[in-house]
Structure 1
Amino acid sequence: MDLRDKPYLKEIRLKRELVTDFAQFPFCVPAVKELDSLQFHPDVTFFVGENGAGKSTVIEAIAVAMDLNPEGGNKNTGFSTETTHSKLDGFIKTIKSFKKPTDYYFLRAESFYNVATYLDKLIPPPIQGYGGKSLHKQSHGESFFSTITNKLKGNGFYVMDEPEAALSPARQMAALSAIHQLVENSSQFIIATHSPILLAYPRARIYQFSEKGITEVSYEETDHYEITKNFLNRHEQMMKILMEG
Structure 2
Amino acid sequence: MMKYSWKSKIYTFLSCIFFIGLWQASAIIINNDIYIPRIGQVIETIKGIFNEPGSFRVIISSFYRTTLSYVLALVFSIVLGVLGMVYPFFKYLMEPINSFSKTIPTMVLVVLSLVWFDKDKTPFVVGFAIIFPILYEGIRNNLINIDKKIIDMTKIYEVSLIDKIRKIYIPVIKFYFMSIFVSTFSLTFKVVIAGEVYGQPKFGIGSQIQIEKVNFNTSGIFAWIVIIVIISLLLEILNKALRQKIYRWAK
Structure with higher helix content: 2
* Both structures adopt the same fold (TM-score exceeding 0.5): no
Please give the range of the TM-score, normalised by the shorter of the 2 chains. Answer: under 0.3
Structure of higher CA gyration radius: 2
